[in-house]
Structure 1
């Protein structure tokens, strides 16, 4: 097995836990944890939560992979389309979903004698607008991939290099519907069918179909973008989606992979001597709670912490670099030698930041 220090750190964390319940979707992150837990001789119980808004085949794939990995597996089923925040697609949707999901997983795990529950959140997840992460903290869920500073691309690289199969379609289909537009069973089924049709037509691994006011926008990964740029295939897809009663079909040709990058080149500015990182997270930060978490953290790399709540920022030193965290999601870290140096400091503070609730 090809490994790296971060992978070895995850394995050591799992060995220390020994007995764990794993929130298991069979996606990249949870598959890696299941694989490493098995490698580390842990007693692991994989728990899959089926909210019945996942792509077709999601549950069957999770069952098969758990069996192939040789781990115990339980399934919790609950239709979230009956829940107000999900059906009405409110800003609280993901928060409500994760609250119910983690709460149920925690209950089953504790009933089976598993006190430690882990999930597949990784360090890259902390720079995206994922309010459900608040429920991870509320329920005391551990995230070994965050503790090991593993980035999303590193996880995918490891799985590919070691030929470890995982599902590339584990995103809740409610996320495809524009915020505040009603999510219905018919919409979910139509999106699921159309995504599957496009996948089979062009041989794509990942297809996301965004729906807004009955307009379908097709999104593809970089590796699949060229596959759809064929007149005959486009016509087949267009006709099928028109039959599915979409008024208009669009193709998003933004092929960037910026969301995999912890730091963009544009976020680094030249200072008097070294580089200054100026990053803007896509959410507000709860300054008082973040200040408390930072102060209580056992982190030798962070010092001189001052929380100025009335103004809305925290002043501190990360790796002896002057740094600030602002209520509106801005982070600044000074005196970085290069991009990698800035990243090393950023990952030390990201797990300690607590985002504000999205309402």
Structure 2
């Protein structure tokens, strides 16, 4: 079996044969490693491009700019709006397909404008583990090149390479686009995306590292990592969260005692946007399929035992 060093060398040699590449770049660990490998292989003929839209948190855009600077790669922005697509807004089980199709389509347009013949994304070998992956269908249909997948580099190895390149995102938690916080079947709107982003910015400022704020049509369901659940149960945090999240537009604020779970609002039996690499954003971070109660009408439908 090839070592991680051998795999990385094979990726660089592969990319060096291209006349130029545009890397769909979220600033997450997967796309950052692809950008570092491409920059090492091609120098100025490699460009990182971030798709900027309402679903990309401002903090993630700032991270992308910073990491591109760390790598030394040229960084471009391509602006568009997923909300222009009624299929995306409807938020059915293929929302990730519609999103990835638009994002990658914008990447190909930008690559064509820059005279770059190849568009790369951050899909890694761990992402192609079966299951319903609508975002990956878009990657295949548009014929984007996934060098990590092509050379069998999995998520653990991606983080090893990020460490080797001394990238600040080597241990960055998964971060998918903001629309993944809205349960399947509920319309995606700019107002919902905005209040989710503001709510998650507050949690980040309060020191939480692994979290989501799910928007159940005006009800905020806060998920935090298991090791941070005790802090979230603090009465002072509860009071502050209720005050600030209602200020940004939520009607009610709750804490999910299950803690953070990827795909907790995605269709049952499918993988969420958070499980499609980055991000989200181009593969920001993979995990397992959503396995808890996924549909909004089922969020509080569990029957709780009562004393007899």
Same fold (TM over 0.5): yes
Find the counterpart in structure 2 of residue 300 from structure 1.
Answer: none
The answer to whether structure 1 residue 89 and structure 2 residue 84 are counterparts is no
Matches within 5 A, 1:68-79: 68-79=70-81
The answer to whether structure 1 residue 66 and structure 2 residue 71 are counterparts is no
Distance 1:40 1:173 in 2: 33
Aligned match of 2:235 in 231, 235, 247? Answer: 231
Aligned residue for 1:210, secondary structure, equals strand
Give how far 1:212 is off: 1.8
- Contact kept in structure 2, 1:241 and 1:249, CA below 8 Å: no
Find the counterpart in structure 2 of residue 133 from structure 1.
Answer: 136
Deviations 1:18-51 (A, max 9, x none): 5211111111111011112223344201121112
- Contact kept in structure 2, 1:218 and 1:252, CA below 8 Å: no
Distance 1:181 1:64 in 2: 34
Which structure is higher in RCO with an 8 Å CA cutoff and minimum separation 6? Answer: 2
The answer to whether structure 1 residue 211 and structure 2 residue 215 are counterparts is yes
* 230-239 vs 172-181, which moves further: 230-239
* 3-12 vs 118-127, which moves further: 3-12
Find the counterpart in structure 2 of residue 80 from structure 1.
Answer: 82
Find the counterpart in structure 2 of residue 154 from structure 1.
Answer: 157
- Contact kept in structure 2, 1:222 and 1:256, CA below 8 Å: no
Find the counterpart in structure 2 of residue 352 from structure 1.
Answer: none
- Contact kept in structure 2, 1:46 and 1:71, CA below 8 Å: yes
Provide the aligned C-alpha RMSD in A. 2.9
Cα distance change, pair 12–106 in 1 and its aligned pair in 2 (3 A): same
Cα distance change, pair 133–257 in 1 and its aligned pair in 2 (3 A): closer
The answer to whether structure 1 residue 49 and structure 2 residue 32 are counterparts is no
The answer to whether structure 1 residue 10 and structure 2 residue 11 are counterparts is yes
Q: Report the structure number with the largest CA radius of gyration.
A: 1
Aligned residue for 1:123, secondary structure, equals coil
Deviations 1:138-169 (A, max 9, x none): 11111011112222233234424653123657
- Contact kept in structure 1, 2:54 and 2:190, CA below 8 Å: no
Distance 1:111 1:185 in 2: 29
- Contact kept in structure 2, 1:94 and 1:131, CA below 8 Å: yes
Aligned match of 2:168 in 165, 170, 173? Answer: 165
Give how far 1:222 is off: 5.0
- Contact kept in structure 1, 2:222 and 2:253, CA below 8 Å: no
- Contact kept in structure 2, 1:218 and 1:251, CA below 8 Å: yes
Distance 2:260 2:108 in 1: 38
TM-score by length of 1: 0.64
The answer to whether structure 1 residue 175 and structure 2 residue 180 are counterparts is yes
Cα distance change, pair 195–140 in 1 and its aligned pair in 2 (3 A): same
Aligned match of 1:196 in 185, 195, 201? Answer: 201
TM-score by length of 2: 0.74
Aligned match of 2:244 in 240, 243, 260? Answer: 240
Find the counterpart in structure 2 of residue 331 from structure 1.
Answer: none
Aligned match of 2:120 in 108, 118, 125? Answer: 118
Distance 1:251 1:258 in 2: 14
- Contact kept in structure 2, 1:95 and 1:132, CA below 8 Å: yes
The answer to whether structure 1 residue 186 and structure 2 residue 191 are counterparts is yes
- Contact kept in structure 2, 1:225 and 1:255, CA below 8 Å: no
Give how far 1:189 is off: 0.8
